[in-house]
């Protein structure tokens, strides 16, 4: 070990641990780490430099807290007045971001000392829990996280501990799912993602997601619900929409969805004045399911002429030309469009700014991409709660240098002006 490094370190004569010198800790932490790397001193693990640094910080903080609690410093004669005073130490091991650290927690004779830096009954410091939850939100399983932490910090972390840490967010999830909502939403987007969930046996379960666009132009995930394995149904939709209404939503201008069975009728029953718009992107995607791949380019080109028409009459004329060309080959595809026509055309009455906003559920598609990233490595979820926990973390996670799927919509002021001209007092802007 170099002389430069030695002057900043001390070796415990009993344990052989390498520790930082007390007087140099705060100002020389970065220098110590760099020097330690160069001299081969361990950074983490039981005898690691960072472990020693963490122990010293915690121990110093505990002593400061005790001095503040009693009103005098350690060894101060003021403590001999017969009032509450120090009463020895209790060893306690806590898990931190650099592994397990053992500190000596001071006691007072009155038993009233409750440290904040290492709380009573706590065996993990906040940074550890935050790291676990962050990794869980990024799609790592409990086993992945346990193995990752063991490799990084050099000590074993059980899957059960990881699960308990992530369960801390269940209270936040419940509050989020029942929070009050705005009275009016110009647009609500509804979609579903399918996950494998165990309920007796593993099966595909739809998770319905509702995203609202607020009067301020922000996307807001309103709620998520795990549906039955049999798929969508009117009863399920009514339960979901009634919950949204009971949480405060009195009126919605436009609801964009994927033509899910029973959903349009449930929307109108919940908000009678709402316009139901079928997601055009989903219609195009579903059309290609009926067609050979070699015709996809021709079909998407023909459909683009329909949904980019300037008027409903123009769209109808283009659709009839499209049907004449393809109905003989793919009658199911044309039949799907005829059945969906009433929910397909509403957006054609709006200017281009609003068309882009409502003819696709791309806002939710961006969120679904996060969901898929968070669930891809999990074969299945043990229960509904576990599935919702992962999706909730994906909703609230903020990612740097990436567009936030719940962020503000570009050009919102122009869109809001058009909405105000169309819906007037219903928006409640006056």
> For the whole model, what pTM was predicted?
0.65
Residue 26's pLDDT is 44
pLDDT of residue 2: 40
* Lookup: tokens for 216: 């301020």
Listed residue (42, 22, 24) closest to 33, CA to CA: 42
Please give the average pLDDT of every successive group of 10 residues along the chain, which has 430 residues: 45 50 47 58 56 65 75 72 79 69 83 75 60 65 67 59 71 91 93 84 87 91 85 76 96 85 87 89 89 94 91 93 95 93 84 74 74 78 85 74 58 85 83
- Of the candidates 235, 238, 280, 228, the one whose C-alpha atom is nearest the C-alpha of residue 257 is 280
User: Residues 101-142: pLDDT tens digits?
Assistant: 787 888 888 888 887 666 775 665 555 556 666 666 666 667
Answer yes or no: are the C-beta atoms of 169 and 188 closer than 8 Å.
Answer: no
> Kind of pairing, strands 99-108 and 86-96?
antiparallel
Count Cβ atoms below 10 Å from residue 279 Cβ, excluding itself: 27
CB 65 within 8 A of CB 115: yes
- C-alpha atoms less than 13 angstroms from C-alpha of 106 in its C-beta half-sphere: 26
CA distance 368 to 361: 10
pLDDT of residue 43: 52
- First and final C-alpha spacing in the chain: 74
Q: Which helix (H) or strand (E) holds 106?
A: strand 99-108
271 vs 254: CA distance, rounded Å: 10
Task: Give pLDDT tens digits for 315-331.
Answer: 999 999 999 999 999 99
Residue 266 in contact with residue 233, Cβ under 8 Å?
no
Closest CA to 383 of 231, 196, 144: 196
- Is 17:11 a contact under the CB 8 Å cutoff? yes
């Amino acid at each position: 070990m170099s002389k430069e490094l030695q002057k900043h370190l001390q070796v415990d004569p009993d344990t052989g641990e390498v520790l930082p010198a007390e007087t140099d800790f705060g100002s020389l932490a970065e220098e110590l780490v760099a020097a330690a790397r160069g001299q081969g001193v361990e950074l983490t693990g039981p005898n690691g430099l960072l472990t020693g640094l963490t122990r010293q910080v915690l121990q110093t903080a505990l002593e400061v807290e005790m001095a503040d609690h009693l009103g005098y410093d350690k060894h101060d004669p003021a403590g001999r007045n017969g009032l509450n005073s120090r009463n020895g130490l209790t060893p306690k091991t806590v898990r931190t971001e650099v592994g397990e650290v053992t500190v000596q927690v001071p006691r007072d004779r009155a038993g009233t000392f409750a440290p904040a830096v290492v709380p009573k009954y706590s065996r993990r410091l906040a940074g550890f829990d935050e790291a676990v939850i962050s990794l869980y939100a990024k799609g790592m399983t409990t086993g992945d996280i346990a193995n990752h932490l063991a490799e990084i910090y050099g000590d074993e972390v059980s899957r059960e501990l990881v699960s308990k840490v992530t369960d801390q967010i269940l209270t936040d999830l419940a509050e989020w799912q029942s929070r009050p909502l705005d009275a009016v939403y110009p647009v609500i987007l509804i979609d579903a993602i399918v996950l494998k969930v165990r309920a007796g046996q593993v099966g595909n379960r739809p998770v319905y997601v509702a995203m609202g666009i607020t009067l301020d132009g922000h996307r807001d995930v309103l709620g998520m619900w795990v549906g039955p394995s049999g798929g969508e149904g009117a009863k399920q939709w009514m339960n979901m929409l009634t919950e949204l209404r009971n949480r405060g939503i009195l009126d919605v201008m436009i609801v964009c969805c994927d033509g899910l069975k029973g959903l349009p009728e449930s929307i109108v029953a919940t908000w009678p004045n709402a316009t139901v718009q079928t997601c055009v992107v989903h219609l195009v995607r579903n059309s290609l399911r009926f067609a050979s791949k070699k015709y996809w380019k021709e079909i998407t080109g023909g459909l683009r002429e329909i949904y980019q028409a300037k008027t409903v009459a123009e769209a109808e004329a283009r659709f009839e030309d499209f049907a004449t060309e393809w109905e003989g080959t793919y009658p199911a595809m044309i039949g799907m469009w005829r059945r969906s026509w009433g929910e397909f055309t509403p957006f054609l009455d709006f200017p281009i700014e609003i068309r882009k906003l409502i003819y696709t559920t791309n806002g939710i598609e961006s969120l679904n991409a996060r969901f898929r990233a968070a669930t891809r490595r999990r074969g299945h979820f043990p229960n509904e709660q576990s599935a919702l926990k992962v999706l909730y973390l994906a909703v609230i996670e903020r990612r740097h240098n990436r567009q936030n799927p719940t962020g503000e919509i570009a050009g919102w002021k122009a869109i809001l002006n058009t909405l105000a001209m169309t819906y007037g007092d219903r928006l409640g802007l006056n």
